[in-house]
Structure 1
Amino acid sequence: MSKRAVLEVIALDAEDALAAQAGGADRLELVTDMAADGLTPPTTTFTAIRAAVDIDLRVMLRLADGFAAEDAGRLAQVARELRGAGADQFVLGFLDAHGEVDLDAVERVVGELDGCRWTFHRAIDHAADRDALRKQVADLPGLDTYLTAGSADGVDDGLATLLAEAGRRGEPGYEQQILVGGGLRLDHVPQLLAAGIDAFHIGGAARPKGWEHPVEAEAVREWRQVLDAG
């Protein structure tokens, strides 16, 4: 491969971050409250992790379970606070009640990011029309990645969609990197790599003992080795 695949690992605290970096993670997604599928962590958590590791950090901007923006003004304020603390990469994505992108909320939050790079997360997997969503947000400043399983039900169900979207790379709405996550297993990796997908996101797979236990460097290292061998 011409460049090594990106491995992103979910981190809840500095202990997770250190283990993920030791195992070969390139980037961390910072969240709290995985019972709600990952919400914005406290700014103090971000600063502790930033002090602990030197790899890229993407901070979740999400106030409640689900994909509604809830309070866009509060989200914008949280984004400002994190920017002030030095955060320079983010994760976000909001849908309305009809499963369409909540463009007003996304634009309001992105407006606080000063052009920072960000990921549109798995809200795309719950959208009424993936293609329409991609085209609506394609020109927002800083958007460089989609975190997606190809389906709300995970990679097993979404594999065909992921492969099809990888084949459209470079078309309008498809310039961004595909970051595969959500029920991702090691046995999915060869087919995804062969399709040109070069970014992978793991959460539970980095925690063999479960979410109540920290990230294990050895578990991350196994993924790093498989990606590098591909």
Structure 2
Amino acid sequence: MQGQFAFVSNDIARWRSRLTPLLVGVEALPRRTPVGQLVKSLISGRTRDPVSLAAYRRLGARFGSAAGIAAATPIAVERVIADVTFAAAKAEWLVEALRLIGRERPDWRLGFLGGLPLGEALGWLERLPGVGRKVAASTLNASTLARPVLIVDSHVLRVLGRLGLVATHAEAEMASEIVTAAMPGWNADDFLRFHIALKRLGQTVCRFETPACAACPLASDCPSNKPLG
């Protein structure tokens, strides 16, 4: 197993180096509180970043806090985030998740997750409505908790699948665990920047229906770019 991870680690390090140009112009954003990042990530699935960010800001302006959202009706929340994909379902998940957190943590502070083993922290979040590995990893990695774990969305999963790191129809959880385990020396920023680079590649080059393989900086490593025979 150690040898296998060493091989994977070399691949990942090489991919990160080749993807560095995609990070030009990317500025480090202030990290949100864990509950704030949870809210932002939960409403962002299948939605363009500017749209989900605007919806997140409207939630803050309308309800003021996690407690305010938890006290609202799902319909009221849906009206505020109406332009995100699957707004009705996300509103239900968001209200229910924050109410559950509030019953256990009345101050909605999730700093304790920083002291749990990574698997336990992910599991605590993933039992919440609407929270899968992508949202849980984002809450831990992109917030002030700054935990070293890879965020895997649909773009990242597609790229890693085409590269052969995971099976084509693998789950985000498996992809996140493989990369996270393979790079024990990376910190939270390393994982976050790798996520951003892979996501940008998936959005602009390694697209779902029409991948531009000739323009891909990872083409020489990609089995999907090699002709059969």
TM-score normalised over the length of structure 1: 0.29
Which protein has the larger Cα radius of gyration, Structure 1 or Structure 2? 2
Larger fraction in strand = 1
TM-score normalised over the length of structure 2: 0.29
Larger fraction in helix = 2
